[in-house]
Chains A and B, each alone.
Chain A
Amino acid sequence: MSKEIQKGREHPLLMLADQAYEVFSSLGFEIATGPELESEWYNFDVLNVSKDHPARDMQDTFFIKNQKEKVLRTHTTNVSARAIEKAGKEGNLPCAFISIGKVFRNEATDSTHEMQFFQIDGTMVGEDISIADLKGVLTHFYKKMLGDDVEMEFRPSFFPFVEPGLEVWLKFRNRWLEVMGAGMLHPNVLRNVGLDPEKVQGFAFGGGLDRIAMVKWDIPDVRLFYQGDLRINQF
């Protein structure tokens, strides 16, 4: 028998993450990384989520014992915020960042909910970055990930860190799915990271990577990703 070492098998989510990074990199996005245990400032305050917002309740967010004002990040938007803050300080505008990573929500698990899952989050800031650019970038991304016949819709929505706020829907295999929250960065967010909303504007988006993997490959249960079971590595 051949002595050649057989290649190991990739985890499907990380395989998908690499594909997503590739698509965004080709558009000029820079890969950004950041901490999973995050300050409340970068996870919430910077993003215009007020102190008494329901999302900050104990039921949804993991707070840390004996570490005041620390949380397990509930999205990777913290990475986007840190990245545009740094880019602003270093004079690297316009800029675009993409980050994919583990996020945490304190909720009961079932086939579509996990306490840890993967989020893909991106932002682009410049002088006249608009919703037209947001639509273009996300449409390009989903067509690359799920095929050219994917249909996209952008519907009105609300998130504290964007204004206008949008929900991103797509039609895949004849089913409409909500895949992302998005919008134009709220002026408070720009101010919080030291940028001047009179001079720059930009978009931000975020959504689950697990969701894309589940619809793309027809994976029935999100929990299968995190059980250390090699049978999930089928691709």
Chain B
Amino acid sequence: MKISYNWLKLYIPEVPKAEKLRDIFTYHLCEVENVEEKEGDFIFDINILPNRAHDLLSHQGIARELASLLDIPFVDPTPKYKIPESKPTNLKIEIKTDKCRRYMGRIIRNVKVGPSPDWVVQHLESIGQRSINNIVDAANITMFDCGQPIHAFDFDKISKFILVREAKEGETMTTLDNKKVAFNPSNMVIADEKNVLAIAGVKGGKIAEVDENTRNIVVEMANFDPVSVRKTAKQLGIFTDAVKRFENDLSSELAFYAMREFSALVLEMCPESIFEDIVDVYPQKQVEHRLSFSADRISKILGLKISDEEVEKILKRFRFEYKKSPHDKGDLEGLFEIIVPPLRLDLTIEEDMAEEIGRILGYDKIKSKIPKINFKPKVNETYAKINWARNKLLSDGYSEVMTYAFRDKGEVEVLASASDKKFLRTNLADGLLESVSDNLHMLPLLGIKSFKDLKIFEVGTIWFPKEEIHVAYNNEEAIIEKSLDEFCKDMPTNFSLEPSPIEPKDSVGNNLETKFKMWSIYPFISRDVAVWMPEGESSEKLKKILKENGTKLLIQEPYLFDSFTKDGKTSYAFRLVFQSYERTLTDTEINEIMAKITDKIKENKDWQVR
């Protein structure tokens, strides 16, 4: 969510500098995605955590939180809101679904729709929103300020009353942005006598749109069931700022504050407007929650001693109403009971208070320790077998691969997949055979002499259709596949409890200098060179010549793949592999390199190129 630093400052004039604020968010609240400096303002893009989306998807919410976190004053804007005079109303609102917990409506007559004042446009633009007209902007500003989504309808386009109900099968509506949507009864809508006016909590409809000719409006501050809103939005593919707030479960109590703020804004922008009484249908009143906890328990969860005094200091900063029961038994810390503020729907259990206190203090205050417990671990037989099988195959010269668990045929099918391979593999053999044939094309790159030396294995899970761990390895093109149990039938039973890495290392962190070398995607060319040299002369001399003249296209060390001695002479055969990271090599250029190498070899009078 985008948060404007200047906007926050209206409520917390003592807010620290932007750079410092970034750290406050990171270490005490949530992740900061980005901070952008923009026309004398800083725009924070922050990831409000799902359990705080009830109360923090708004500037006032964030400002209150920061004021408490930093123990700085919060300037409450509500006393400054002008409260308009209000006249009796004929507005009729009916809720016919249990998915609407509250619907607050108000008719405002004689509004003058037009451009918004500069400060409104500025506020909206700072957080990437577009100004539309003063009425729509007032609704948006109120939402980004206090968190309550608001919708304004053109009252003269509504027939008789407002009804919150389930949609009828096949009912349709055109949205404000001209998208035609069709409903089913799982969707909740706002309707009048004849038409669907809006998708509840999701998006308004074209039919009662506020435009430049609008004279009278009815404004909605409602509270909808989060799951219903989320599912409808998903089904229709419409994601709005309202959805984002409702799907995270807002407090029904918020509607009241939003109505006060919105009314004051409209009165300021359209002083001639006539306000009617608020109609508040509130069938599912939010109940007050209390939460008890002790400093002792919190200390035990955090692993950090917290005193009653520290707890009280925090409760006061956060303006929690609380009671503290006296110490009843000797050293037992007192029990705190707080009245959970209506917007703080995240606070339900003692552990929530541990989190609250932990993050306010900062988790860096907790000193790390390694628990000194004498655990009595047992051998995991499956792991022991896998480890034994891998060790055995590796020491027999097989190299390990992992292939995909998904195939285009099988016994177990996934319901939906981002890929076209929708089945789980029934064996390892099919994947391993593909691996064999892929690797076969690059034997010289792998430093492998011939097909019979290409040895590959995989240990992995298959579903036929029962889940089972298998072991598979190749013998040229033949694949031998066994269940893990069968493969391990000769495993000794006195294996050790500790895992035994294939190549034990003094400290597993010690090979940090080793870096992966990405390979080239271009084809390679391999050439062999065989030279007769006097018996006893080292092949290293020849290798040196090959390395020095192979140019940088020589992708790896030349390797000796054959040697034999006859009649006082030794033949050494080296394989050279050429490859470029930038292009496909041509035979001609490699021939040139090879010709140069041959010339160099011929400089040694007693050597003969074979």
Q: Which residues of A contact B (CB under 8 A)?
A: 1, 5-15, 18-19, 21-23, 25-33, 35-37, 52, 54, 57-59, 62-67, 72, 92, 94-96, 102, 104, 106-109, 115-116, 124, 126, 128-133, 135-137, 139-140, 143-148, 153-158, 163-167, 184, 186-187, 201, 216-220, 225-231, 233-235
B402 touches A216 (CB 8 A): no
Chain B contributes a number of interface residues (CB within 8 A of A) equal to 104
A63 touches B415 (CB 8 A): yes
Partner of A58, one of B28, B387, B415, B505: B415
A-B residue pairs, 4 tightest by C-beta? A132-B303, A130-B303, A228-B435, A164-B355
**1/0 contact trace for B339-370 toward A, CB 8 Å?**
00000000001011011001100011011111
B351 touches A31 (CB 8 A): no
When A126-B373, A144-B507, A201-B300 are in contact, do A184 and B368 touch as well, CB less than 8 Å?
Answer: no
B240 within 8 A of A: no
Q: Chain B contacts of A25 at CB under 8 A?
A: 377, 497-499
> Once bound together, how far apart are the Cα atoms of A63 and B416, in whole Å?
7
B301 touches A36 (CB 8 A): no
Which of B117-125, B165-173, B417-425 contacts its partner?
B417-425
Interface residues of B in 394-429 (CB under 8 A from A): 394-406, 412-419, 424
Q: Chain B contacts of A158 at CB under 8 A?
A: 49-52
B400 touches A10 (CB 8 A): yes
B406 touches A115 (CB 8 A): yes
Q: Which of B303, B404, B439, B507 has the most CB of A within 10 A?
A: B303
> Once bound together, how far apart are the Cα atoms of A232 and B302, in whole Å?
42
A126 touches B446 (CB 8 A): no
Q: Chain B contacts of A153 at CB under 8 A?
A: 27, 364
A187 touches B227 (CB 8 A): no
Shortest distance between the CB of A76 and any CB in chain B (Å) = 13
> Once bound together, how far apart are the Cα atoms of A72 and B434, in whole Å?
24
Q: Chain A contacts of B27 at CB under 8 A?
A: 153, 155-156
B431 within 8 A of A: yes
Q: Chain A contacts of B369 at CB under 8 A?
A: 132-133, 135-136
Q: Chain B contacts of A7 at CB under 8 A?
A: 394-395, 397
Interface residues of B in 160-219 (CB under 8 A from A): none
A8 touches B461 (CB 8 A): no
Sample 19 A-B pairs with CB under 8 A, ordered by A number. Answer: A8-B400, A8-B455, A28-B377, A31-B380, A58-B415, A58-B416, A72-B424, A104-B405, A106-B414, A106-B416, A115-B417, A115-B419, A130-B300, A132-B368, A135-B366, A135-B368, A146-B512, A217-B516, A230-B446
- Closest B residue, CB atoms, query A133: B371
Shortest distance between the CB of A123 and any CB in chain B (Å) = 12
- Closest B residue, CB atoms, query A223: B404
B380 touches A30 (CB 8 A): yes
Shortest distance between the CB of A20 and any CB in chain B (Å) = 8
B518 within 8 A of A: yes
Interface residues of B in 439-490 (CB under 8 A from A): 439, 442, 445-446, 455-458, 460-461, 463, 467
Q: Chain B contacts of A219 at CB under 8 A?
A: 516
> Once bound together, how far apart are the Cα atoms of A133 and B227, in whole Å?
37
> Once bound together, how far apart are the Cα atoms of A52 and B382, in whole Å?
34
A13 touches B402 (CB 8 A): yes
**1/0 contact trace for B49-71 toward A, CB 8 Å?**
11110000000000000000000
B354 touches A163 (CB 8 A): yes
A220 touches B518 (CB 8 A): yes
B390 within 8 A of A: yes
> Once bound together, how far apart are the Cα atoms of A23 and B219, in whole Å?
61
> Once bound together, how far apart are the Cα atoms of A19 and B507, in whole Å?
9
B494 within 8 A of A: no
Partner of A187, one of B349, B397, B463: B349
Q: Chain B contacts of A37 at CB under 8 A?
A: 412, 424, 463, 467
Q: Chain B contacts of A31 at CB under 8 A?
A: 377, 380, 383, 499
Shortest distance between the CB of A52 and any CB in chain B (Å) = 5
When A92-B376, A95-B375 are in contact, do A14 and B563 touch as well, CB less than 8 Å?
Answer: no
B414 touches A64 (CB 8 A): yes
When A27-B370, A128-B300, A139-B368 are in contact, do A36 and B26 touch as well, CB less than 8 Å?
Answer: no
Q: Chain B contacts of A19 at CB under 8 A?
A: 501, 505, 508
B338 within 8 A of A: no
- Closest B residue, CB atoms, query A57: B234
When A1-B563, A9-B400 are in contact, do A116 and B405 touch as well, CB less than 8 Å?
Answer: yes
A29 touches B358 (CB 8 A): no
A35 touches B467 (CB 8 A): yes
- Closest B residue, CB atoms, query A235: B514
B352 touches A163 (CB 8 A): yes
> Once bound together, how far apart are the Cα atoms of A140 and B368, in whole Å?
10
> Once bound together, how far apart are the Cα atoms of A93 and B417, in whole Å?
40
B374 within 8 A of A: yes
Q: Chain A contacts of B368 at CB under 8 A?
A: 132, 135-136, 139
Shortest distance between the CB of B550 and any CB in chain A (Å) = 20
- Closest A residue, CB atoms, query B304: A132
Q: Chain A contacts of B300 at CB under 8 A?
A: 128, 130, 201
When A14-B400, A163-B349 are in contact, do A28 and B514 touch as well, CB less than 8 Å?
Answer: no
B230 within 8 A of A: yes
A33 touches B31 (CB 8 A): no
A144 touches B509 (CB 8 A): yes
Partner of B380, one of A26, A27, A33: A33
Shortest distance between the CB of A206 and any CB in chain B (Å) = 17
Q: Chain B contacts of A12 at CB under 8 A?
A: 516
